[in-house]
Amino acid sequence: GNSVTQMEGPVTLSEEAFLTINCTYTATGYPSLFWYVQYPGEGLQLLLKATKADDKGSNKGFEATYRKETTSFHLEKGSVQVSDSAVYFCALSATNKLIFGTGTLLAVQP
C-alpha cells in the first residue's frame, strides 16, 4: 500500500543552521510528493511539491528532490530562521487524496 515515513521530532536548531527532515515513501505507481507546513494556530499549507522523479520542488529557501531510486523526498534548507518554526508534513498523492506522514516539529532558537 501507500505510506509515508518521516523522521521523528522535535528537531531543535539554532538560527542559520542547516536543516534536513527525512521523508521516505512506499507507493504503487508514480505519485506526486509534497511538503506541507503548519504554523502555530493555522492550517496546513503547501510548501513545495514535485510531480516526477528527479524533480526538485523549492519555495522560501526550502528544497526537496524526488528520488525514485531511494524512494525519498527529504526537505532541506541551508539557513533556518526563527520564523521557520512549525510542523512539517511529508505527503504523497494517491487516487485523488493525500497520504501524510506524522509531521515533524521544527523549533528554531535565536
Which residues are near another protein by CB under 8 A? 4, 32, 34, 36, 38, 41-46, 49, 89, 91, 93, 95-103
CB of 18 to another protein, least distance (A): 26
Residue number with CB closer to another protein (15 or 52): 52
CB of 14 to another protein, least distance (A): 26
Residue number with CB closer to another protein (56 or 97): 97
Distances 75 to 80, 84, 89, 107 between C-alpha atoms, Å = 12, 13, 10, 15
CB of 94 to another protein, least distance (A): 9
CB of 47 to another protein, least distance (A): 11
Helix, strand or coil, per DSSP, at residue 83? helix
Closest CA to 36 of 68, 80, 82, 4: 4
| CA 16/CA 10 separation, integer angstroms | 17
Residue number with CB closer to another protein (26 or 79): 26
Residue number with CB closer to another protein (6 or 19): 6
Residues 103/77, Cβ–Cβ less than 8 Å = no
36, β-bridge pairs: 46, 89
